[in-house]
Each structure stands twice: as structure tokens, then as C-alpha cells.
Structure 1
């Protein structure tokens, strides 16, 4: 039996800002189906966590956590949820605030949490074999474990290399409580870098798709960390994310108008419902293109913005759901006002509306500049919506471009970060939609696409077995 402790900064259903929370909420369940693993999870206790979960917490122990010249007090609490043991580190000074990230002292907050993870190890009723930390917020937990608990093996997963946890070099003396001989393992370009610290100290490094594992060894994608990633390339592996197929299931989804498995007629019922709700032209045969995303440059909205006027001249409907950069919000709101029967822009995030868009749409637009893995295209396939993506990261690994000659492929893709390549791809998808002889084989491929955690969990289990055997 391998005892594995996940350390992360967010997890569904407790607290969520992005795809990391979905991974931490579902991957442990998949890993625990292999009887050779026991995975537990440790998280910060945020003020914003739902009271129904807070009321179910059980006190485990008090913890004293050294933070530089100070000692911070914390409580370790636990909760059983869907067969997984979750631990929460409670400290109101650092986490008794609404929201998750974006505070001036985020570096100190997550150094504290990382050290609290190490201090909690003797207090939980499990002898941890492997500490598996996720993204920069727990990067220092890997470094602390390597320095203070060499009996524990470590895995670090990069979910998004763009965010690294930078701090001034004074943070080493102010926060770390480790000897000066360890400074070089944390320093990068004259500053302390929490992700670099994890890459330097981890026994194994994973990231969330095979293509992204190769991309981040290149300067264009690495955000400055390509040299250390190339040095550690023998310990770097890309494992594609999955989704919780029970949670994202159009057969049982309570949010959608008409539940279905593969029926295109049922999808059209969902489309008609959404058209009525959004005051679009009510016609189930008009192809509907949707995007559910943060409205930021990384997600490729510069490209969509550039060609939207041209594309809306076609007999199509476009719906965008999300919030983000003000310029994108205003631009897409303008197009919706200009073409009220053909486009809707919903500047919010609503889980119910997102599910309704997946269920109603024919095509899902995701032209990302870079994408470590991406979950939206996997959810779209689960709801039988055809993804249109740029060939980067996990999008390239999960969406095979449709070939009308061979009948292979489950979506559409384009290679270069270029607006007119996106427009060409959108128009090709529209042509395919109008031709049943080639559209039907594509739909069959979409219906067969499966991205549960089963295969990925086997690969993670292989990584853990290798480490324990050492």
C-alpha cells in the first residue's frame, strides 16, 4: 500500500477558481480505486468555504508553524467526503479572508501553508510515503519535505507554469527557516521562486498533458524555466487530465433542459430552450458556437475578436459566457448588441448556464494561445459538442482534427496563433455541418470520445510505484 498526500490550494467542492480544483476533487477518487493506493488531501481552510462543510469538520490537532522569526498557530481539521479524507489547515490571519488569491502577501500565505503541511505529517494517522504537491502554492512543501523529511518521496505537478510564486530574496530569511546552503535551490533570476524550488527538489515532475511537457522545455512556453526543466527532463512526464464523467454527464445533468446520451434531437431541444432564454432566432438547425472561459488573452480571444464580424455574416449563432479583461468584455458585448438575434454575451460565470451551453451547442470554440491541458474541451466532448481548438498543450493531445477522407477525428484544429486560420477553421466546420455525409462520421467519433480519469490514474500509479521502489 502506498500512502499519498496531495497538497493543493483549491479543490471542488470546497473552493474553486479553475481547473486545478476539478483535478484535486476527482483524481484522488480515481487513484483510490487501485487498492495499492490510499490518497488523502490537505488544503487551506478559506473563509469562503461553504458552511455546510465547515460544520462537518473534526478537530485533529493544533499546529505550531515557524514562519521566519515568528511562530504562527494553526488548527488541523479533517473531513470525510465521497470516500476521501481531507485535511484543512485553519489560520485566520492568512486564510480568514474572502477570495482565494490576489492578496499582496500571497507568497507568505502559501509558504506558511507549505510549512504547515510538513508540520502536519506526524499528526495524521497515516505514514506518508509520497507527498504530491500541485502548482506554485505548494511548491515550497516539496522543498521543505526534501530538506526536512528525506524519508518521503515527492512529486510536483505543474498545472500552469505562468504562475510561479515570485518573492524578493529577503523572503528567504524572513519566511523559510532553513539554512543558507539551501538558498540556491530556491533562487531564480535574483528572486525566490516557489515553482523553481519545487522543480529543483522534487523526485518526479509531472504536468497535465504530454504536449505541454514538451512545450515547457522551450523558451516560448516556459516562462523562463526552460533551462531547469531541460536539466530535469528525465524526471518530467506529461499525464493528460481527465474529468469526472459522473459529474459531467448529460444523461443525469439536473441543469439542462432535456437530458440525453447521444441524441442530436435532444441536443436541439436544449438549443431551442437556450435560444428562447437568450432571445436568439429560434431555429434548431442554425449551428450554435459557444465559448465558456475566462476572457483573457491566453484563451485566444484576440483571435476570435478579430474575425467575429466576418463570421457573424454566416448563418450561425455565437454565445460567450465568462468574465475577464474589460476590453474583451466590452468588445463581445458590442457584437451581441450589434447582432442581437445571432449572438449573446453573458458576462458572468454560472455553472448551470455553462452546462446549458455545453448541452445546446453544436461547436465549442477554444483557440488558446497556450493550454496546459484544458478541461472545457473534454466537457464539450462529453456533451457531444464538437471542439474547435488551436493545436497546443492538452488541446492537441485530446482533439484529433477531422479528416473527411479517412473519417477519423473528433474535432477541428489549427496550428498557428493566427486569426484567419481560426476563421478558416470555423468556416470549414460550418461546411461540414451542412453536409450530412461527412458530418455523421464526425458525430460518431465525438460520441465515442472518453476522457475519464481511469487511464491517467494508472500512469500516476506507475510514477508512485517507481518512487517507492527506489
Structure 2
């Protein structure tokens, strides 16, 4: 193919317009890297959080069940990567991106709207790259509509699968409905069943899915699917402690002494005592699978001098737990319950140890960011955490791994890290961490190779 490959990247969230987690982060950064070599566009819902200038492109009706809803397609001006926004106030002009009773209907509308949009714009992609369950029905609609290109379906988290009553998909036969789940058809199953290639966001998570497919076993067996793992990466143009104007004291591997200055600045900002003790941090969503209860129990049980900082939003119950913890540890603990990227970077820069004890973690980006900032990760041995963190032994390694999902094992690993923090080995461990290269360029090259391969 002499011309550039044309790709449409389909996602439910995209930074900086709307972001909940890793999907939004990678949807914002990966297409930009890919755009250096291919003609790539994005399409995403127009969520309420998207505050930019838009241009009207087209509109059309979309049939959802026994009614029609209007889709307005808009584009953003001054974009590095052209992005189409699927606008409908009823479905997407809401306070949150997810967690509504009608999420199935909302993202079925999104899939159908993208299909209709493709019939009304001049851009004709060779590959349509769908991301996570919200896009799962799009490969099916494309195949039934005679699309001649290729589809890729990337799983970001298999635990979230999406479903909707089968009456919304009256065009399917009874046999097709049965394959997709029966009375409630499953978005994720559709993505597996109708895509040309299935990928996920780390090699270890791909292996985990093949062992425990969360209801996809029959499709994987019947289609002989081999899930390809491509590790997400970090945009070092955005996350870099040496970048001017973001930290009070920029630093790199040759000026690690400035990291301590950032720690003092963070202690001052969050009303922590100016103490030379390990500062332990977590930047996370307050959800069960992120190991939040483990962090709480381990921090409470630690019997060594330390400080603790938490930044995150989510479960109100966990917010109250950590508020009480901070009250009982005044001057030694702080929690901020919001998403603030600038503060997150100051926490990465000012902290010594970074906790990520997830029950499962398809990829994880926070631990890779922490490495770049020299905040030593303590992570559970699962998914993408296993692919990026090497347990520190005899001067080798970039962090700490533990296996059992328990607060006791997490506490023991923190204690082990604190012992090394108080030794001459700590600086060499920071250098090991900061030397790691998990750049987004590596991910982009692997996706580019995949795009070329499936078009051969």
C-alpha cells in the first residue's frame, strides 16, 4: 500500500475531553504517536466535560429500539489528530461518563452512530480500531453492512462487559442473539465474535484472559482466537520530571537531589510535617479492585516512621475511611478526593514509594509514570504490573512485587522498601527506576506493525 494506512480509532473516552482512567489516557496519546506514520482519526462521544470549540459536521437519525434519536457529528478545531464527536444531549450530556442504568442503550447508540457517520464523511478507513465493551457491537454492524476493511477490538478491562436487552437488536437472528448472550446480549462477546483481531493492553493480561476468559471461553475456542498483548506506554512529553514549568524543581537522573526539594514542597503544600521519612503515595481510583482496602489496612498497621498521600476519586465509603485516617495522622497523612493532573505530577515527584496493590490490572499506567519520576512502585504481581515492575534484589530491579492479595503482604513489602530507603542502596534503586523506558513510541510501533500485518 503506497498511501498512508487510514485508521479510525473508536473510544468511549478520550483525554483531554473526557477521562475516567487508562482508556481515556491512552486514547488521547496513542493516536498522536501513530499519526506520525499513518492517517488516523478518532471518534468519541461528546460528553459534558468536553469544553472546547466545536464545528458542526452533519446530523442524522439513529434507530434505537422502537424510537429514533438524533446524532449530531461535530469536530474540534486546531486538533493534532482529527476527532469526530458523537453528540446527543439525552445520552451524553451528563455529569458522569459511565455508571447509568441505560449505559447499554447509550453505547449501542454510539456504535450505530459511528456506523452511520462513516456513510456520510469522505474519510474511508482501512482499519477500524475499537476499544473496550462500549464499541463491541460496531464490528458486527460493520460486517453486516458490507464493510471491506479490517476491525481490531482492544480489551482494556474484561471485567466490564456491557449488555442490553435483545429487543434492541431486532435485526439479529435467534441464533445470533443466543451466541451473544440470549435475552441480554453482551457487547464484549460481540467484539470477540465479529472482530478480525483481538488485542489487549499487556502480554501478561493476554495470558490471563486465555486462562480465565470471563464468559468468552466458547468464542475463543470456536474462533481459535489468539489474543495479542501490546503494552500501553507513557507519553514522556507529558510525564517528564525535567519538563520546565511543571515542577518547582525540575530534575532528571543526573539531578536526583532535586527530587528531595520537590518532596519538601509537597509536604508544605499538603500540610505535612517537614520530616525526612519515606513519603508513600497512591494516585488511583477508589475502587475495590485497585486494592484500596489493602492500602488502608497496611498503612494503619505500619510501625515505622512514614508519611502518606492519597489522590483519587470514587467510592464514597473509601473517601470517609481515608478522611478518618488523615484526622488520626495529622501532619503525617493527606488525602485529596479529586482528579488533578498537575497535583498528581507533584505527588509522583515528591513521593518516595508508590502503591498499586491491584487485585487485577490489565496494564496500569501509574506505575510506569512513577518509575519515570523515581517514585518506587510496590505492586501486586498481576497483569501489566508483572510486565513492568522487576522485584528489587541485589542491586537489580526497579520496584517491589508481591503475590498474595493481602494487606499483610503489602505491609511487609512496604517495610522492606523502607529498610532499603534507609540504606545507601536507595539512590541506585531510583536510578534503576528512572532508566526504564516504557515510552508510548514503543506501543505505537507495535500497533503500526499489527496494522500492516492485517492488511497484507
TM-score normalised by length of structure 1: 0.91
Q: Secondary structure of 2:282's partner? A: strand
Q: After alignment, is 1-10 or 91-100 more displaced? A: 91-100
1:335, distance to aligned residue in structure 2 (A): 2.1
Q: Deviations over 1:177-229 (max 9, x none)?
A: 445553234226x521111111111100011000011112233xx43334434
Range with greater deviation from structure 2 (147-156 or 73-82): 73-82
- Match for residue 443 of structure 1 among 425, 430, 433: 430
Hey, what's the Cα distance between the residues in 2 that align with 1:387 and 1:186?
A: 40
User: Of 121, 125, 138, which aligns to 1:124?
Assistant: 121
Q: Is the 8 A contact 1:19 1:375 kept in 2?
A: yes
CA shift at 1:340, angstroms? 1.3
Rate the CA distance shift 1:184–1:129 in 2: closer, same or farther, 3 A: farther
Residues 1:195 and 2:183 are matched in the alignment: no
Q: For 1:215, which of 208, 211, 223 is the aligned residue?
A: 208
Tell me what 2:420 maps to.
432
Equivalent pair of 1:159/1:372 in contact (CA under 8 Å): yes
Aligned mate of 2:35, from 32, 43, 59: 32
1:400 match: 390
2:309 is equivalent to residue 319 of structure 1: yes
Deviates more, 1:228-237 or 1:391-400: 228-237
Distance in 1, Cα, partners of 2:235 & 2:78: 15
Of 368-377 and 449-458, more deviation after overlay is shown by 449-458
SS in 2 for 1:430: helix
CA distance in 2, matches of 1:249, 1:170: 50
Match of 1:47 in 2: 48
The correspondence for 1:158, drawn from 155, 158, 174, is 155
Identify if the C-alpha distance between structure 1 residues 179 and 64 changes in structure 2 by more than 3 Å, giving closer, same or farther. Answer: farther
Taking the TM superposition and a 5 Å limit, the aligned residue runs for 1:68-467 are 68-173=65-170, 177-180=171-174, 182-187=176-181, 190-219=183-212, 222-232=213-223, 234-252=225-243, 254-262=245-253, 263-283=255-275, 285-311=276-302, 313-404=303-394, 407-436=395-424, 438-467=425-454
Aligned equivalent of 2:5, options 2, 13, 37: 2
State the alpha-carbon separation in 1 of the partners of residues 444 and 184 from structure 2. Answer: 35
Cα deviation code 1:206-254 (max 9, x no counterpart) = 11000011112233xx433344345556431010001211111212264
Q: Is the 8 A contact 1:287 1:317 kept in 2?
A: yes
Counterpart Cα distance in 1 of 2:244 and 2:366? 16
1:267 to partner: Cα distance: 1.0
CA distance in 1, matches of 2:297, 2:94: 39
- Which ranges of structure 2 fall in alignment gaps of 5 or more residues? none
Name the Cα RMSD after superposition. 1.9
Q: Whole-Å Cα distance in 1 between the matches of residues 172 and 216 of structure 2?
A: 23
Q: Measured at CA, do residues 48 and 344 of structure 1 come closer, stay the same or move farther in structure 2, by a change above 3 Å?
A: closer
Q: Contact (CA 8 Å) 1:171, 1:192: kept in 2 or not?
A: no
**Offset, 1:80:** 4.7
Determine if the alignment matches structure 1 residue 64 to structure 2 residue 61: yes
- In 1, the alpha carbon distance for the partners of 2:326 and 2:134 equals 38
**SS of the residue 2:210 aligns to:** coil
Distance in 1 (CA, whole Å) between partners of 2:73 and 2:270 is 47
Cα deviation per residue 1:46-78 (whole Å; 9 max; x = unaligned)?
Answer: 23310xx2x2x2222222322233333222222
Q: Secondary structure at the match of 2:82?
A: strand
Q: Secondary structure at the match of 1:410?
A: coil
Q: Secondary structure at the match of 1:331?
A: helix
**Separation in structure 1 between the aligned mates of residue 106 and residue 126 of structure 2, nearest angstrom:** 26
Give the Cα–Cα distance (whole angstroms) in 2 for the partners of residues 330 and 236 of structure 1.
Answer: 40
Distance 1:454 1:238 in 2: 16
Kept in 2, the 8 Å contact 1:5–1:41? The answer is yes
Is 1:289–1:361's contact at 8 Å kept on the other side of the alignment? yes
Aligned positions, number: 452
Cα offset for 1:156?
0.5
